[in-house]
A = this chain, B = another copy of it.
Amino acid sequence: MDQVAGAIADPVRREILMMLREGRLSAGEIAGRFPISRPAVSRHLRVLRDSGLVRDELVGRRRFYVLDTGPLAGLAEWMALLARPSGWEHRLDALETEIHRTRRERRVHGTTDQAKENTA
């Protein structure tokens, strides 16, 4: 959970995650949408990979990144625990169920090309 919290803390990484929400993207496609250099983005992607928030799929000479919201569950649980008397934690519960549902449907994003899976 520590790694997840750290990964979330950076605005560039948060934006990358939001990009990946609409489907997988190659490293170059992601880097092209930022004003910073490609290696900088590459290292942000490495942090996200280590945290488990993204998976990568090697397709030819390209590397696609896929969002994986699973690791968010731990952080969500911590937040819910912290805010127990608050009232908005119901949305966090919803988030967790959503995460589990997404876990089942993850294969929808996978298209029909072969890819060597490189999960962190």
As a 0/1 sequence over residues 43 to 64 of chain A, the CB contacts with chain B under 8 angstroms (1 = contact) are 0000000000000000000000
Q: Contact at B87–A83, with CB atoms within 8 Å?
A: no
The one of B76, B82, B85, B92 in contact with A106, judged by C-beta atoms closer than 8 angstroms, is B85
Instruction: Across the interface, name the chain B residue whose C-beta is closest to A92.
Output: B76
Beta-carbon contact of A9 and B5 below 8 Å: yes
Q: What's the number of copies of this chain in the assembled complex?
A: 2
**Chain B: minimal CB distance from A4 (Å):** 10
B14→A78 contact, CB < 8 A: yes
Which of B6, B95, B104 interacts with A76 by CB under 8 Å? B95
State the main secondary structure of chain A at its contact with B: helix
Query: Size class of A's contact patch?
Result: 35 or more
Tell me if A33 counts as interface (CB < 8 A to partner B): no
**Interface locus among A17-25, A34-42, A110-118:** A17-25
User: Do A80 and B91 touch across chains, with their CB atoms under 8 A apart?
Assistant: yes
Choose one: B17, B18, B69, B82; the contact of A18 (CB below 8 Å): B82
Docked pose: A69 CA to B95 CA in angstroms: 18
6 nearest A-B residue pairs (beta carbon): A69-B83, A9-B9, A22-B86, A80-B95, A5-B9, A69-B86
